Chains A and B, each alone.
Chain A
Amino acid sequence: MATFSLEINKKTHTVDADADTPLLWVLRDQIDLVGTKFGCGVGMCGACTVHLDGTAMRSCLLPVSQAEGKQITTIEGLSEDGSHPVQEAWKEIDVPQCGYCQSGQIMTASAFLDQNSNPSNTEIRDAMHGNICRCASYNSIEKAVKVAAEKIR
């Protein structure tokens, strides 16, 4: 057990955890930020996506020890009030079905659009490929990413 100081959503949190604990579980169980979801634990579904210094990252594979000194953003910190263009686009298109995968989808999409606000269809599909939606809301996600890109441009 060691103590880690984490910069999450512009706030500093100090947690005691084993160094190998994935950031996902520290966020969910210890810091009460449950918007980041657990789907597979092996980096194959994207439900646990957060931003690490602005880059989309699978928090289920990231040991907490490696998150120190980085700016961590979770869905709760993406915007103050749900007004990030990606969140607004998600709302406009009414993307979610069960909703469980959606914070991961939103985190992947927002990091991607930060790098490329004018993506082609293929680029969107490639960027979102790592995020599974079991309810298969893919058509709506695809559309919402395009709408969000327009808002960002």
Chain B
Amino acid sequence: MNLSNNQKQSFSRRSFLKTSALASGGMLISFNLFTACKSDIKPPVDISQLNFNDFNAFIKISDEGKVTIFSPNPEIGQGVKTSMPMLIAEELDVSWEDVYVEQGKLDTKNYTRQVAGGSQSVRFGWEPLRQTGATAKQMLINAAAAKWGVSASECTASQGVITNSQGEKLGYGDVVKEAALLEVPEEVKLKDPKDFTIIGKNISNVDIDKIITGKPLFGLDYKAEGMVYASVLRPPVFGQVLESFDDTETRAVGGVVDVVKFGNKIAVLAVNTWTAMKGKKALKAEWKQDSKPESTALHDAELFKILNGNKFDTRRKDGNVKKAFAEADKVLERVYESPFLPHNCMEPMNFYADVTSEKIHLVGPIQTPAGTAGRVANLLERDEKDVLLEMTRMGGGFGRRLYGDFVLEAAEISSLAKKPVKVVFSREDDMTAGTYRPAIKYKIAASIKDKKVTGYHLKEACINDNMYGLIPHFFPAGAVENYQVDTANYKSNITTGAWRAPYTNFLASAEQSFFDELAEVLEVDRVQLHLDLLENVKNNPEPNVEYSPERLQGVLKKVVDKSNWGKTEADVYQGLAVYYCHNTHVAEVADIVMENGNPVVKKVTCVVDCGIVVNPLGALNQIKGGIIDGIGHALYGELTFQDGKPQSNNFNTYQLIRMGQTPPEVDVHFIENNLAPTGLGEPTLPPIGGAVANAIYKATGKRLTKQPYLSNMDVEKVIG
């Protein structure tokens, strides 16, 4: 999708935004951000198909020319609360210093689709948000032209000032009143990327001042009149149900105001968080096993049984892998394993609910407000229009906050207790009542004939839901003539769900390790193998793939150059990975050294092709965060189960990566182009595990196939 084509695109703006004059002075432009950024429409976005009926985002231009963008977009740490307004401000042509971003209140009936996740916000907002800014700018120009009695084409606008051919000037604030009453223009021209003044500049996080001074921003910080705190006792073992409980001691704790049983859970309500937690500890509950308690050993056995069996759903089938394997000179087959992972958002799950006969008021951090509001209405058998949901900044999401279980809890407790309630998870609650990344195993096999890869067969065995998604059309689909992806799963009573970079967060490590070994078996250079396979895709008349072979080759060549691939000092070992996911192409090289038998990542070189980089400062944060997070989970992350009980419940029994374990240098390079921007919150995470495993192989001669790597290479595990 090239920009020059997009500039010619036109669509009816009349149905897309609305302007109105404000009684307080100034102009209000209303538009629908989430329909505009509808994520089930594939790029290039066909704007004519979008249906802009409701408005949920607003731009206010005051008569002093100050611009306030009310963004209903939830911030989970991906910087979208900064980058999305940048797109509007760029085309509106105001200086960033005059722009204020506020989190809008959410009226759920107007929110048909609203999800933060999937790294897609900026990708889908790219066109509509710039169109919005450009439309508003054109209306301001039209108003100024009418005032001067000249044609609009004689006027230009920049930095909030409109100038005519005589050199006369009017500020945006001077013409907002008139502009608000004008017709919305049918067609506007978008800027040439070379004229961008905001996009591509380093812009700080819009909430930075509040964050560094400790202002209330997060769900956990929210307070309301009359609110009590709730600590919830949930089944300690997956598969258990509540049989009976005794709250005598709990009620004797000073400050406990109520104890409420709901479903299989018991909530202790108190005047503050600590008392609620204390009251919960004093509860005596009896639980009954309702379904089989599962252990990690059982999961392992079941997943292996699947991999060695023949009951699969085939997700993609090219050619005939069976035949290719039968005719092969050699077959390489490996199994890769990964454990359950908790999300461990830094801010534990929490939510505020005030359920009264008139309304349901919900406030807190959630990635899926619309769906969650609907589920709350359903649960309480209320009309959805009674629900008012407000989002706060989120202390991390990573997929966990897509699931509104904690919102439902808060609503149900408030409805039963008839009080405004804030549910607060302790870290133990958060880690043991999770919606985990499920354990996954892959069996990958390649057939080799005459020193060429003739077949590729990937089998996935997964707990609960499979990771299929777009995987069948990822590399090496299209590169190998005989190609097949099969999936199957084991249904567990442990709750599982999306985790940062769903589908690929482990797949990439597995495949990138496999290709490393495959190159070795083929006795070809690792980089050359990949370049050649990508060449096959280019020569394939019908590759039917999601990724671009050219862009993958581009990042690969550049990372070879930037990382000094193969030219490091003695005792430094390099591993490589190249991957496409979440619409972004990435290549990574990890440099490791061995210290006391432990692999230590010293440096990562990363090349990213994400199209235009909207906010380099935010982009670097995302990229480096994804890489370090990926290293941490590949090396340390693991949640095991024994008799249905999670075996870690806090950071003293669960290792998250810390500063001392972080590579001091993550060297990031971008591929410069004018392509539409793609997401950055996720794509750098999946491949890094593979790069690290490949480097460990060079250092130790040991191929690691099971995560977390550090628990599977006979080194001592120390937590903290």
Contact = CB atoms under 8 A, between A and B. Distances in A.
Nearest to B662: A138
A141 B345 CA distance: 18
Interface stretch (B16-24, B206-214, B555-563): B206-214
A106 interface: yes
A138 B662 CA distance: 7
A62 interface: no
Interface centre among A30, A37, A100, A101 (most CB of B within 10 A): A100
B273 A141 contact: no
Contact of B212 (A47, A91, A101): A91
Contacts of B618: 94
Interface in A84-137: 87, 90-91, 94, 96-103, 106, 121, 124-126, 128-137
Contacts of B278: 18
Contacts of A82: 209, 212-213
Could you tell me the dominant secondary structure of chain A's interface residues?
loop
Contacts of B621: 94, 97, 135, 137, 140
B273 A29 contact: yes
B626 to A, nearest CB: 8
Contacts of B658: 129-132, 138
- Tell me the dominant secondary structure on chain B's binding face: loop
Contacts of A28: 221, 273
Given A39-B427, A101-B346, A132-B346, A33 B720 contact: no
Interface residues of B, number: 68
Contacts of A141: 659
Interface string A42-70: 10110100000000000000000000000
Given A74-B214, A129-B660, A139-B624, A134 B272 contact: no
A34 interface: yes
Nearest to A97: B77
B624 A132 contact: no
B424 to A, nearest CB: 8
Contact of A139 (B75, B274, B628, B656): B628
B216 A96 contact: no
A72 interface: no
A103 B214 contact: yes
A149 to B, nearest CB: 15
Interface stretch (B86-94, B388-396, B592-600): B388-396
Contact of B396 (A30, A87, A134): A134
B236 interface: no
Interface string B598-631: 0000000000000000000110011011111100
Contact of B218 (A45, A100, A125, A138): A100
A45 B209 contact: no
Contacts of B656: 132, 134
B48 interface: no
Given A39-B346, A98-B76, A98-B347, A136 B205 contact: no
Contacts of A41: 426-427, 650
A29 B212 contact: no
B666 A76 contact: no
Top 6 nearest A-B pairs (CB, nearest first) are A35-B214, A100-B395, A98-B77, A75-B214, A136-B628, A44-B651
25 contacts: A18-B254, A18-B255, A18-B278, A37-B218, A37-B346, A38-B273, A42-B427, A42-B651, A76-B213, A82-B213, A90-B208, A94-B202, A96-B211, A98-B75, A98-B346, A99-B207, A100-B347, A103-B214, A121-B664, A128-B659, A132-B658, A134-B629, A136-B624, A138-B657, A142-B664
